[in-house]
């Protein structure tokens, strides 16, 4: 089994990023308020925050899907104004096209970009191997479980070796056991690939476990409340980490912010 060539992670610079939604009732909604964030090459950054804090808006802007109101985003010094080929996106639902086979789904971005599908087919099979779905290429999404479909979605996002991988609560729709497995698998996979990851989640544990840095966002208007560096050695063991006081320290710091903002109310 050939090793996948390591992707060089992209460097992302978010400067004074602002997004205002204009609603019909003429009251503008400030979703993101002048966010400044520099993401180092190959680092794993998690973003946690309550619903409505602008996490998904942030992802949408980074993916080039929504126009920016103010500020700018650059990836490897190129401005992001529309969907960028260096960016792969994994959404909360797998969004696989049910009328295409697994491999055809993975190759969808290649088709859209007009590249040679044949050249990438081997790569697609290789990615399937890496996520533990070897031999599933010709199956249809309806024959796969939720966790397996999400793995295929991850392969699809990785097919062009993106410098930046955006993940919007990718494990949110999965059952708890599958989610735990996927979290561990993601760590292993990322360690091998080395791309920059921006991972949005509601789960504090998940965020602290996976990330080099956890960004905590406040409720609307979205601002960064805390930029927490996670100083724990890798590879991290999900089973051991819950006994680790350092881990709990980080989790507690994040919870305290939520409690202070009234997002989590302790009883």
Partner 1 sequence: MARVSGFSGSVAVQTEREKNTLKAKRKFRLQQLTERFSALFLAFTLLAIWQIAVPLSGLSEFILPTPLAIANRIANELPLLASHGYITLFEVLAGFGMGVAIGIPLSLLIFYSRAFEKAVYPLLVALQTIPKVALAPILVLYLGYGWAPKITLAFLIALFPIVISTVVGLQSLDKNLVNLVRSMGANEMQTFFKVRLPAALPNIFGGFKVAISLSVIGAVIGEYVAAERGLGYLQLQANSLFDTTLNFASVVAISALGVSLYFILDFIESKVAYKRDSAK
Binding site for partner 1 (CB under 8 A): 63-65, 82-83, 85, 87, 89, 91, 93, 95, 97-100, 108-109, 111-113, 140, 142
Of 30 and 108, the one with the shorter C-beta distance to partner 1 is: 108
Residue with tokens 């969808």: 108
Calpha distance 109→66 (Å, rounded): 19
Of 21 and 99, the one with the shorter C-beta distance to partner 1 is: 99
* 172: three-class secondary structure by DSSP: coil
CB 127 → partner 1: shortest distance, Å? 16
Sorted by sequence, the CB contacts under 8 Å of residue 173 that are 6+ apart come out as 92, 93, 146, 150
Of 83 and 249, the one with the shorter C-beta distance to partner 1 is: 83
Instruction: Give first-to-last CA distance, the chain, whole Å.
Output: 53
Of 95 and 226, the one with the shorter C-beta distance to partner 1 is: 95
Residue whose C-alpha is closest to residue 90's, from 159, 144, 21: 159
CB 43 → partner 1: shortest distance, Å? 22
Cβ atoms within 10 A of the Cβ of 89, count?
24
CB 96 → partner 1: shortest distance, Å? 9
Q: Is the peptide bond before 235 cis (omega within 30 degrees of 0)?
A: yes
CB 87 → partner 1: shortest distance, Å? 8
CB 17 → partner 1: shortest distance, Å? 18
**CA dist 229 → 23, 209, 215 (Å):** 37, 12, 9
Identify any residues that bridge with 74 across adjacent strands, giving them in sequence order: 13, 79
Calpha distance 63→81 (Å, rounded): 9
CB 168 → partner 1: shortest distance, Å? 10
Of 65 and 260, the one with the shorter C-beta distance to partner 1 is: 65
Of 60 and 218, the one with the shorter C-beta distance to partner 1 is: 60
Structure token pair of residue 68: 């920016």
Of 90 and 183, the one with the shorter C-beta distance to partner 1 is: 90
Residue with tokens 């966790």: 147
CB 223 → partner 1: shortest distance, Å? 25
Provide the strand spans (E) within the chain.
12-22, 28-39, 44-48, 70-75, 78-79, 87-90, 164-168, 196-201, 213-217, 224-229
Of 113 and 118, the one with the shorter C-beta distance to partner 1 is: 113
DSSP 202: S
Judge whether 37 and 198 are in contact, CB under 8 Å: no
């Amino acid at each position: 089994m050939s090793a996948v060539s390591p992707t060089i992670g992209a460097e992302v610079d978010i400067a004074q990023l602002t997004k205002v939604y204009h609603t019909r009732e003429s009251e503008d909604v400030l979703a993101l308020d002048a966010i400044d964030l520099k993401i180092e090459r190959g680092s794993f950054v998690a973003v946690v925050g309550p619903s409505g804090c602008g996490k998904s808006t942030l992802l949408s802007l980074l993916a080039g899907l929504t126009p920016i109101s103010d500020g700018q985003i650059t990836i490897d010094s190129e401005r992001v104004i529309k969907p960028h080929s260096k960016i792969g996106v994994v959404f909360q639902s797998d969004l696989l096209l049910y009328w295409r086979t697994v491999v055809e789904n993975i190759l969808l971005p290649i088709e859209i970009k007009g590249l040679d599908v044949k050249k990438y087919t081997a790569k697609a099979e290789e990615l399937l191997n890496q996520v533990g779905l070897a031999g599933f290429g010709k199956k249809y999404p309806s024959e796969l479980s939720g966790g397996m479909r999400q793995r295929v979605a991850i392969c699809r996002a990785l097919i062009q070796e993106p410098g930046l991988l955006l993940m919007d609560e990718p494990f949110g729709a999965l059952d708890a056991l599958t989610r735990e497995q996927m979290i561990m698998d993601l760590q292993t996979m990322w360690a091998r690939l080395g791309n920059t990851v921006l991972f949005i989640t509601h789960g504090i544990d998940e965020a602290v476990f996976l990330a080099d840095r956890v960004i905590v966002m406040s409720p609307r208007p979205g601002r960064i409340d805390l930029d927490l560096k996670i100083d724990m050695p890798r590879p991290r063991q999900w089973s051991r980490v819950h006994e680790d006081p350092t881990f709990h320290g980080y989790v507690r710091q994040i919870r305290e912010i939520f409690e202070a903002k009234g997002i989590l109310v302790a009883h």
